[in-house]
Amino acid sequence: MLTVHHLAMSQSERVVWLCEELALDYALVRYEREPNMLAPAAYKALHPAGTAPTITDGAVTLAETGAVFAYILERYGQGRLVVAPDDPAYADYLFWYHFANGSMMPGLFTSLIIHALGGPGGNPLAQGVLMRAEHGFAMLESRLSSVPYLAGGDFTAADITALFALTTMAAFTHRDLTPFPAIMAYVARVQARPAYRQAMAKAEPHG
């Protein structure tokens, strides 16, 4: 059976949500963080990467968000939550599907570290990283001002990959979303989905 190993307050919540959207028969194993906020030894032992998300499926153990999503969508998705290559929205889907992990999340994680170390100061490299993170929010605001979902008119896996950066990660980095009304409306719209609510009730039962 497909098993999602979910580390509390981590990106693996997206995999739980994906499984709920697909109405899959899956098992969920939840791991609490250590007092220092790191993953427990039992989680790190699941895969050599030692990171969330991690899934197991029979003899398969797989980590990395993009790989996990591709595995589940291609093995169990039956064409759901993706855009076909001959669809006019395919390029938009591909871009936004990869945007969260390829650009948004690295920028936010690095910003978190920069601020934890006291801010960018006069370091141009650090300032550039912070500007890149800001540009990501501006891009999302522009996109969501014209379409309800990132790929266009339909909800897809691109929306599942993106939301973590706008919720949990935004909270970690103390990001105020009020200057971005389209993003705020999008977050509310997506969080109202029954599958999202079911996923969060399972993945983060303590709120």
Q: What's the angle, vertex CA 181, arms to CA 179 and CA 186, rounded to 5?
A: 130
pLDDT recorded at residue 207 = 67
Going from the N-terminus, what domains does the chain have, and what CATH number goes with each?
Answer: 2-81 (3.40.30.10), 90-193 (1.20.1050.10)
Q: What residues contact residue 121 under an 8 Å CB cut-off, 6+ apart? A: none
Query: Mind listing the pLDDT tens digit of every residue in the chain (207 residues)?
Result: 999 999 999 999 999 999 999 999 999 999 999 999 899 999 999 999 999 999 999 999 999 999 999 999 999 999 999 999 999 999 999 999 999 999 888 888 777 777 777 777 777 877 777 777 788 899 999 999 999 999 999 999 999 999 999 998 888 777 889 999 999 999 999 999 999 999 999 999 876
Which has the closest alpha carbon to 104: 146, 51, 150, 73?
A: 150
Q: What residues contact residue 145 under an 8 Å CB cut-off, 6+ apart? A: 182
Q: What residues contact residue 173 under an 8 Å CB cut-off, 6+ apart? A: 108, 111, 112, 115
pLDDT recorded at residue 175 = 82
Rounded distance between C-alpha atoms, residue 195 and residue 17, angstroms: 6
